[in-house]
Amino acid sequence: MSTKKETAKSTATRQKSEGFTAEEKAAMKARAQELKAEARASKNRAEGERVALAAINALPEPDRTMGRQIHEIVKAAAPALAPKTWYGMPAYANAEGKVVCFFTPASKFKSRYATFGFNEDAHLDDGAMWPTSFALKELTAAEEKRISALVKKAVS
């Protein structure tokens, strides 16, 4: 037979692991809104740019500055990629509308670093294993150059 303390601990543990976090729920809600907006805008590039920039401008610092830098790097490296949001984050899609790369601000999931990542439509394959996401604490000229090269390779 279990004690009241064990039962309370078991219940608390079970409650912690059940369901989605508030951040995950917000991301799912944002994604549903994005899908509706895409359908309305028929993947209008100007609308995608407006929405992506609005998402970036809504970020707290230093994510906002980093998001703006990433946006400019991706636009310069791969003008064919269309800006949009993906789960509320700035993202860049190919002509088929599939997200190739995206920026995850540190503030989104209360992480100690932001990330810049790639989805499977990015052409980054290198043997049997390759990185698909990169942690970012800051963007120096070296990181900007590397991101630009990766984005160019991703769309090649």
pLDDT in tens, the chain (156 residues): 555 555 455 444 445 567 999 888 888 888 888 777 766 544 578 888 999 999 999 999 999 999 999 999 999 999 999 999 999 999 999 999 899 999 999 999 999 999 999 999 999 999 999 999 999 999 999 999 999 999 999 999
Contact 118, 96 (CB under 8 A): no
Domain limits, the chain: 20-154
Instruction: Please give the Cα distance from 151 to 156 (Å, whole number).
Output: 9
What are the start-end ranges of the H helices in 42-154?
45-57, 63-77, 141-154
**CATH class as words, domain 20-154:** alpha beta
Of 108, 90, 93, 7, the closest CA to residue 43 belongs to 93
